[in-house]
Amino acid sequence: MGVVNVTPDSFSDGGEFLDARAAVARAGALVAEGADILDVGGESTRPGAEPVTLAEELRRVMPVLEAIAASSLPHKRSPAVSIDTVKAPVARAAIAAGVSIVNDVSALRADPHMAGLVAEHGVRCCLMHMLGEPRTMQREPRYGDVVDDVKAFLEERLRFAVDAGVPEENVLLDPGIGFGKTVEHNLALLDRLDELAALGRPVVIGTSRKSFIGWLLARAVGEREPVPASERLAGTIATNVLALERGASIFRVHDVAPVRGALEIAAATLGARCRKTFRRSPRS
């Protein structure tokens, strides 16, 4: 899953692809690198991010989604397109433009109309765990047992989605690495990711360039500040390979080619243990 941020304030590439033409070029490059899904988002969810208005989010993402739908991306098969939003009106417009996955970081909690919309249109949805909201989620997050708590949350949200009419096979689950978690919480989730995979739905993992990687890399060399996002590829690759081994099957990343290459080698090495998890992503 290749990331297309159409925002001025994302932590890793804020502003680089705010122009629709730049975003579409970015999408084409990601597909050429091997992305099966393009995840387009117009509202940053980095720690401390402020929400944007409905009108502004639509203004950012719709030209990109429409251009992607109308373009011939450099790939023998068309990628699935995902909309990263918590707003049902944005998801509705995106679905009309050809989107087949709704990536909702609130797990259908932010907008009471989102679950019904997903069910009505028969699209897939990704339900993510987040403690609080982007503005507050990193203020001393606490858990009893982070893995047990996240698992219980995802299980409850899966039941909610199914009760709202979303077929279970249309639901993806994301533990929300970095969303209201300390470095230690993130490491525990990665270490015990198999417990979340046991819920029976595809697990989406999103560690790409995140700050906990920056802190770990800094800690390893005795630095007091995290290494910048542009220098976190090695950690991104390592965490995704570990996630593959523990049952993740969809990998949301900024650097598609190197991560995909690492996953291909890891899957070949691990053989049957990963054959069921490292597969082509679901499509429309």
What does the pLDDT look like over 188-235, one tens digit per residue? 999 999 999 999 999 999 999 999 999 999 999 999 999 999 999 999
In a domain, 12, yes or no: yes
Q: Quick one: CA dihedral 68, 70, 74, 79, positive or negative?
A: positive
Q: How many Cβ atoms are within 10 Å of 143's Cβ, its own excluded?
A: 15
In a domain, 236, yes or no: yes
Give the rounded distance of the alpha carbon of 209 from its chain centre.
Answer: 12
Write down the residue that tokens 């028969």 correspond to: 122
Q: What pLDDT, on the 0 to 100 scale, is given for residue 149?
A: 96
In a domain, 85, yes or no: yes
Percent of the chain scoring above 70 in pLDDT: 88
In a domain, 280, yes or no: no
Residue 275: pLDDT band (50, 70, 90) is low
Q: Rounded to whole angstroms, how far apart are CA atoms 65 and 80?
A: 11
For the CA atoms of 262, 263, 268, 272, the dihedral, rounded to the nearest 10 degrees, stands at 160
In a domain, 282, yes or no: no
> Taking a C-beta distance cutoff of 8 angstroms, is the pair 102, 125 a contact?
yes
Q: Looking at the annotation, which residues are catalytic? A: 210, 252
In a domain, 284, yes or no: no
Average pLDDT over residues 271-280: 60
Q: What pLDDT, on the 0 to 100 scale, is given for residue 271?
A: 82
> Taking a C-beta distance cutoff of 8 angstroms, is the pair 57, 85 a contact?
yes
Q: What pLDDT, on the 0 to 100 scale, is given for residue 139?
A: 73
pLDDT digits (tens, 9 = 90+) for 155-164: 999 999 999 9
Residue 284: pLDDT band (50, 70, 90) is very low
In a domain, 119, yes or no: yes
Residue 281: pLDDT band (50, 70, 90) is very low
Q: Rounded to whole angstroms, how far apart are CA atoms 36 and 252?
A: 10
Average pLDDT over residues 145-150: 97
Residue 133: pLDDT band (50, 70, 90) is confident
Evaluate if residue 277 carries a pLDDT over 60: no
Evaluate if residue 278 carries a pLDDT over 70: no
> Taking a C-beta distance cutoff of 8 angstroms, is the pair 189, 175 a contact?
yes
Q: What is the 3-state secondary structure (H, E, C) of the chain?
A: CEEEECCCCCCCCCCCCCCHHHHHHHHHHHHHHCCCEEEEECCCCCCCCCCCCHHHHHHHHHHHHHHHHHCCCCCCCCCEEEEECCCHHHHHHHHHCCCCEEEECCCCCCCCCHHHHHHHHCCEEEEECCCCCCCCCCCCCCCCCHHHHHHHHHHHHHHHHHHCCCCHHHEEEECCCCCCCCHHHHHHHHHCHHHHHCCCCCEEECCCCCHHHHHHHHHHCCCCCCCCHHHCHHHHHHHHHHHHHCCCCEECECCHHHHHHHHHHHHHHHCHHHHCCCCCCCCC
Tell me the pLDDT of the chain averaged across its residues: 89
Average pLDDT over residues 221-250: 95
In a domain, 181, yes or no: yes
Average pLDDT over residues 242-263: 96
Evaluate if residue 74 carries a pLDDT over 60: no
**Burial of 95 from C-beta contacts in 10 A (0-12 / 13-18 / 19+):** buried
Evaluate if residue 75 carries a pLDDT over 80: no
Residue 280: pLDDT band (50, 70, 90) is very low
Evaluate if residue 13 carries a pLDDT over 70: no
Enclosing domain of residue 65: 2-275
Q: Rounded to whole angstroms, how far apart are CA atoms 207 and 94?
A: 25
Number of domains in the chain: 1
Q: What pLDDT, on the 0 to 100 scale, is given for residue 164?
A: 98
CATH number at residue 132: 3.20.20.20
Q: Rounded to whole angstroms, how far apart are CA atoms 32 and 28?
A: 6
